[in-house]
Amino acid sequence: MKKMIDHNLQDIRKNISTAALQCGRDPATIRLVAVSKKFPASDIKKAIEAGQFLFGESYIQEAAQKKTEIGDAASFHFIGHLQSNKAKLAAQIFQMIETVDRYKLAATLDKELKLQGKTLDVLIQVNIGQEPQKSGVLLQDAEELFKQLIPLSNLKIRGLMTIPPYHDNPEHTRPHFQALRMLAEELKEKGYFFDNNHVELSMGMSSDYTIAIEEGATLIRIGTALFGHRPTR
Ligand SMILES: *Cc1c(COP(=O)(O)O)cnc(C)c1O
């Protein structure tokens, strides 16, 4: 098993480099988020041994348990749907929350952060395919949300995140990645991000990450291609 994670990680790193270089990007500007949800902490440890430091988790309780086991040997991003009543715990566990998509959640997080005396990097999740079942702010509501978030000074809004509609042919996700990048550029022009010279775009998963890289991804979230098929809960 260690061998497999090790091997998969090397393959993915190679693919990231190749895709980046082919479109004239520096591979070092693309960070791999190893999506370890539903996999045991022992798999995270194997990936750490193979040189991976950044992981993505979708469930707060599961992540809290892993954080206890792994400690500071890894950095965790939250990529699942966050309920406001879990904001306190989330603010303690994660280096970044990639799925802020509504004012109430952001305000609760900000309040918790003030109590904990710290700031937190966040991304705004955009429902780029306008899918009713998915989380994320709609494209046309994004700017209004950014305006509402301005006073929440303990949140550092680093960029945008999306989970586009699934397609068997990954080429079909390309327009969604382009739409996210264009939205980021618009918001950047208006100065809405914490650092408008360095805006993060979290997009691309196992099946389409090389396309996401071509379209400007700075964070790619990969589970299956690294750890294998997720065990059913
Ligand atoms: C599970 C998950 C991933 C990883 O998906 P794979 O197809 O296994 O690479 C990426 N992003 C989010 C938000 C997820 O929930």
Distance of CA 100 from the midpoint of ligand 1 (Å) = 17
In single-letter form, the type of residue at position 83 comes to Q
Residue 185 backbone phi and psi in degrees, to 5: -65, -40
Residue 106 DSSP SS3: helix
**Rounded Cα gap, residues 156 and 162, in angstroms:** 18
Which residue CA neighbors atom 5 of ligand 1 most closely? 223
The structural domains of the chain, with segments of one domain joined by +, span 2-227
pLDDT digits (tens, 9 = 90+) for 82-127: 999 999 999 999 999 999 999 999 999 999 999 999 999 999 999 9
Most ligand 1 atoms within 8 A of CB, residue of 94, 133, 221 to mutate: 221
Buried (b) or exposed (e) across 93-111, using 16+ Cβ within 10 A? bbebbbbbbbeebbbbbbb
The answer to whether 123 and 99 have CB atoms below 8 angstroms apart is: yes
Give the pLDDT of residue 3: 65
To 10 degrees, what angle do helices 142-149 and 103-116 make?
A: 30
The values of phi and psi at residue 123, to 5°, are -115, 155
CA distance 200 to 219: 7
Residue 112 and residue 107: Cα distance in Å, rounded? 9
Decide: 124 and 145 in contact? Cβ < 8 Å: yes
Which ligand 1 atom is nearest residue 79's CA?
13
pTM of the model: 0.97
Beta-carbon contacts of 180 under 8 Å, excluding residues fewer than 6 positions away, are 126, 128, 160, 162, 201, 203
Quote the ligand 1 centre to 134 CA distance (angstroms). 14
Can you give the pLDDT of all 233 residues of the chain as single tens digits? 556 999 999 999 999 999 999 999 999 999 999 999 999 999 999 999 999 999 999 999 999 999 999 999 999 999 999 999 999 999 999 999 999 999 999 999 999 999 999 999 999 999 999 999 999 999 999 999 999 999 999 999 999 999 999 999 999 999 999 999 999 999 999 999 999 999 999 999 999 999 999 999 999 999 999 999 998 85
Angle, helices 41-49 vs 2-22, to 10°: value is 60
DSSP code of residue 206: T
225: CA distance to ligand 1 center in Å?
10
What fold, for 2-227? TIM Barrel (3.20.20)
Ligand 1 neighbours (beta carbon < 6 A): 35, 37, 58, 79, 163, 205-206, 221-225
* Closest approach atom of ligand 1 to CA 35: 4
